[in-house]
Amino acid sequence: MTREASSSSSSLSRRQFHRAALLAATASFTSPLIEKSVGVDSPTATPPSGDLIDTNVYLGQWPFRHSSLERTAALVAKLRKGGVTEAWAGSFDALLHKDILAVNERLADECAKNGDGLLLPVGCVNLSLPGWEEALHRCVKKHGMKAIRIHPNYHGYTLRDPVAVRFFELASEARLLVQIPLVMEDERTIHPLVNVPPVDVSPLAELLSRAPHARVQLLNSFRSLRGLPIESLAARGIVYEIAMLEGVESLSTLLPKLPADRMCFGSYSPFFYFESASLKLRESVLDDNTMQSLRYGTARKLLA
């Protein structure tokens, strides 16, 4: 290849990368309805080979807007195109619906019928409602779920409440992974009627001392949790995912402070563009072992 051809190829690659980076940076503030019109798919190259586990996915409709990917089949096709081989899926209905048993029933049924072998259902329990222990029991015994997602800020309790201690004890006995999304939406775009604060995770240290075998993953955490709290919780075994990690080469900057076995891949699809999370892997210069941990290694250990 001539020097001119090499320079032209390199320049084109840089242009494509910067275009993709610009689109990913705006993903938090633009609706998935415009996904096709802005051409988000076009900068995405063929995904790397090998397993990719997405630990942060939701099914259904976000209560305050429609998405082009709220149909399960469309979401599954999108994830497969991005190289995902397994996705852990919760339900948007779990935020505001009171009949959690029905929410979990629909979720398990949807994953089985339309998940195409890709979706792993992650149930929910509302600890502020009576009967939550029965809901947890059904998730394990009836639906065979391996993980539970709780939303303390939307359901009106805190991790300091005694019921949270009981939940962690039961989840630990059942060998369930507990996922806790700290926020669901950027505070600058959230609907004022559901302007809920981020989940306060300061009680987690005490909870883990009461349930030392509990496995916990924090979702959507990097907007509200920064610095030393991240590292101190990681030292106690807490695991994170990358959906709300912001900044150029953010992974390369974070990983020296946070071990790779405390990080998973997560896209928060379809609320966020999948490409936003995928680009974080592509732009980072990581060794093979670290990339393997991020793509699937840490996630598999969480459910082992």
Q: Express each pLDDT in 117-155 by its tens digit.
A: 999 999 999 999 999 999 999 999 999 999 999 999 999
Entry field: residues in the chain? 304
Mean pLDDT of 78-98: 97
pLDDT of residue 12: 39
Q: Put residue 211 in one of left, alpha, beta given phi > 0 → left and psi -120 to 50 → alpha.
A: beta
pLDDT of residue 6: 41
pLDDT of residue 79: 98
CB 262 within 8 A of CB 238: yes
**Distant-in-sequence, close-in-space partners of 75: CB < 8 Å, separation ≥ 6:** 57, 59, 69, 269, 270
Q: How far apart are CA 71 and CA 225, in angstroms?
A: 32
**Distant-in-sequence, close-in-space partners of 68: CB < 8 Å, separation ≥ 6:** 32, 33, 35, 36, 74, 270
Mean pLDDT of 74-100: 97
All domains of the chain in start order, with CATH: 50-302 (3.20.20.140)
Q: How far apart are CA 164 and CA 210, in angstroms?
A: 11
More confident residue, 299 or 258: 299
pLDDT of residue 250: 82
For residue 28, pLDDT over 50 is answered with: no
Q: How far apart are CA 22 and CA 128, in angstroms?
A: 41
3-class secondary structure for 160-200?
CCHHHHHHHHHHHHCCCEEEEECCCCCCCCCCHHHCCCCCC
pLDDT of residue 137: 97
Q: What is the pTM of this model?
A: 0.84
Q: Put residue 164 in one of left, alpha, beta given phi > 0 → left and psi -120 to 50 → alpha.
A: alpha
Written as six digits, the tokens of 126 are 């509302």
pLDDT of residue 227: 67
pLDDT of residue 97: 96
pLDDT confidence of 49, banded at 50, 70, 90? Answer: low
Q: Put residue 144 in one of left, alpha, beta given phi > 0 → left and psi -120 to 50 → alpha.
A: left
pLDDT confidence of 201, banded at 50, 70, 90? Answer: very high
Written as six digits, the tokens of 270 are 């379809």
